[in-house]
Amino acid sequence: MTLSPYPAQRGLAARRVLGRAAMYVFIIVASFVMIYPMLFMFLGAFTTGDRFMEANFLPIPNTFNLDYFVRGLKAVQGAYLVTGLRAGFYMGISVFTGMIGGYVFSKLRFPGRNKVFLIMLLGMVMPAILMIMPQYLQMAWWPLAGGNNWLGQGGHGFIGEWPVLFAYGWVPPCAIFLYKQTYDMLPTEYQEAAILDGAGPLTIIWRVYGPLLKPVTAALIAITFLAVWNDYLWPVLTISGNEAWYPITYRVQTFTLRFWSPAGGPDYPPVMVQYIMAMWPPAFVYFVFQRYFVQGLVASGLKG
């Protein structure tokens, strides 16, 4: 950069250079802080226990050990299947309910529409943790399930049983909101023309508006997958004891507690392998659908 002969301009140019340098330093430091734990995890997964304990800054592998990966993959196969079933179920529910609910609140006119929509949006602002206890008791007191009588007493209901993993989230407010915002920006004339041609509501949703909703649909699928894959608290509270239905987060946590060396200390390399097993599917989905996050949110009107 050529400095100006005028003192004021030289000072401004110097401040710009210093500001840009500070920005680059901040980006480098912040990137390192975020990358370091993942780098530590990946390197630690390929080391032996003794080599790992000798590490100071990073565990530098002295061998390419894949034994832990083979054992880890066999250990989480069932958990992959359970989590995949949950993710597929909730992705389908979110898209189906969101497209229909968004259409109802955007394109149809009925008394109290806006009030009902605002009430539904309370589900987005209410902390999910507040609903854990009522939901748990509802599952435990479910009539005629798990030894309960018709009053919901005497047994454990759905607690510890597989239906508890699929019982909630059938009407996701976030999905309806995203689709509703997108419908609002699509011309109503499409709907009117389809009605004149004899199309019903479902035909209008799937065949007329559906192709125009692809960015939002892709973003919602990715968001739902990440949320279900990372779900931990609900399975821990409700499915504990039924190992056949442990999702990946709970399975990894239980396996981590089992990896202890004979001396009584943790055997870190297999623990790191388990973390990688749980991390790579959501990371892959995020990188594949990354551009849809921005496109979907912009298409729904949620800018900046």
Residue 141: domain span: 69-299
The alpha carbon torsion through 16, 20, 22, 25 (nearest 10 deg) reads -160
The domain tally of the chain equals 2
Please check whether residues 292 and 210 belong to one and the same domain: yes
What tokens were used for 63?
A: 């061998």
pLDDT at 105 over 80: yes
Please check whether residues 45 and 107 belong to one and the same domain: no
Domain end among 11, 34, 65 = 65
Please check whether residues 52 and 81 belong to one and the same domain: no
Q: Confirm whether 304 is domain-assigned.
A: no
Please check whether residues 41 and 162 belong to one and the same domain: no
Please check whether residues 53 and 75 belong to one and the same domain: no
Pairwise pLDDT comparison (49 vs 152), residue with the higher score:
152
Tens digits of residue pLDDT in 4-22: 555 666 667 777 888 888 8
Give the three-class secondary structure for 266: strand
**pTM for the model:** 0.83
Please check whether residues 155 and 256 belong to one and the same domain: yes
pLDDT at 285 over 70: yes
What pLDDT is recorded for position 255?
79
Pairwise CA distance, residues 76 & 81, whole Å: 9
What pLDDT is recorded for position 203?
92
Q: Confirm whether 201 is domain-assigned.
A: yes
Closest of 221, 250, 248 to residue 80, by C-alpha: 248
Q: Confirm whether 171 is domain-assigned.
A: yes
What pLDDT is recorded for position 299?
56
What pLDDT is recorded for position 5?
57
Q: Over the chain, what is the mean pLDDT? A: 84
Per-residue CA distances from 105 to 97, 173, 186, 219, 224 (Å): 12, 12, 13, 20, 21
Q: Confirm whether 48 is domain-assigned.
A: yes
Please check whether residues 46 and 82 belong to one and the same domain: no
Please check whether residues 77 and 59 belong to one and the same domain: no
Alpha helices in 141-247 (DSSP H): 173-185, 189-196, 201-203, 214-229, 233-238
Pairwise CA distance, residues 277 & 266, whole Å: 18
Please check whether residues 279 and 222 belong to one and the same domain: yes
Query: DSSP letter string over 92-155?
Result: HHHHHHHHHHHHHHHH---TTHHHHHHHHHHHHHS-GGGGHHHHHHHHHT-TTSTT--TTS-SS
pLDDT at 304 over 50: no
Q: Confirm whether 30 is domain-assigned.
A: yes
Q: Which of 20-34, 88-102, 255-269 has the highest mean pLDDT?
A: 88-102
What pLDDT is recorded for position 164?
93
List the CATH number of the domain containing 96: 1.10.3720.10
Please check whether residues 60 and 73 belong to one and the same domain: no
Please check whether residues 129 and 269 belong to one and the same domain: yes
What pLDDT is recorded for position 245?
93
Pairwise CA distance, residues 223 & 296, whole Å: 11
